[in-house]
Structure 1
Amino acid sequence: MSTYDDGMAVRREVLGDAHVDRAVAGTTAFTEDFQDLITRYAWGEIWTRPGLDRKSRSMITLTALVARGHHEELAMHVRAARRNGLTVEEIKEVLLQCAIYCGVPDANTAFRIAARALDEE
């Protein structure tokens, strides 16, 4: 399998087929290189590495999204964290940790986004 194929397999396992199918269907000539890049590198090179399990990678990803204020991707990665084995309690603990190290306002927003995503389960 190629890095792209490995990445697409992991991307589907972590984000779910529905999300990936929407992203692929929405790909345009303008965005196709970016979709290829994230599939090969983010999913095919990083998420496939043996050094961390997917649960740990999800915790790191949630923290990074909160820290950088990337709220538009947070709900997607909360759902991914659940697929990767994080419990609701563990997600709450990650966000509480983020409150201290990333800031209360960002954690407040993250709790609101995460609660909505978890309610959709």
Structure 2
Amino acid sequence: MTTNEGLSDAERWEQGMTVRRQVLGDEHVDDSIANTTDFTADFQDFITRVAWGDLWSRHGLDRRSRSIAVITSLIAHGHHEELAMHFRAAMRNGLTVEEIKEVIIQSAVYSGVPAANTAFRVASEALADEF
């Protein structure tokens, strides 16, 4: 069972916005909303309902585990523009800098040393206040 079973799209959006704010922080979400255009509005609605209202609201994994999965996937696929945001989200979800470092090192074997090298650069910038 998921926490979105039987919810309307509007209720999934509300649940998604709550989770999105908890994971990414109000400032990031407020900036995303402020930068929404007619062109991107449907996408913002989609990610709020589906990524945050459905996926991140499921019971199967805790948020720490979801953060590890997301960081690993972003590193593996070279989605560096999302890494900084998700490194900070991982800290909100209870990961330590040491644990994030270990996730990046783990990814070096499975995703490649260059990908891990870039991830360390992004993490160093995104988490500079934590060192």
TM-score bracket for the superposition, by shorter chain length? over 0.9
Sequence identity of aligned pairs in percent? 65
Structure 2 Cα separation of the partners of residues 17 and 30 of structure 1: 23
- Structure 1's unaligned 5+ residue stretches are none
Structure 1 Cα separation of the partners of residues 16 and 82 of structure 2: 18
Q: Give the TM-score of the pair, scaled to structure 1.
A: 0.98
Matched residue type, 2:50: Y
Count of residue correspondences: 121
Q: Give the TM-score of the pair, scaled to structure 2.
A: 0.91
Q: 5 Å matches for 1:34-49?
A: 34-49=43-58
Q: 5 Å matches for 1:43-82?
A: 43-82=52-91
1:11-58 deviation line (CA, Å, top 9, x unaligned): 000000000000000000000000000000000000000000000000
Give the equivalent residue in structure 2 for 1:13: 22
Matched residue type, 1:87: T
Larger Rg: 2
Moved over 2 A (4+): none
Structure 2 Cα separation of the partners of residues 93 and 120 of structure 1: 19
Of 35, 41, 44, the residue aligned with 1:32 is 41
Give secondary structure in 1 for the equivalent of 2:68: helix
Matched residue type, 2:118: T
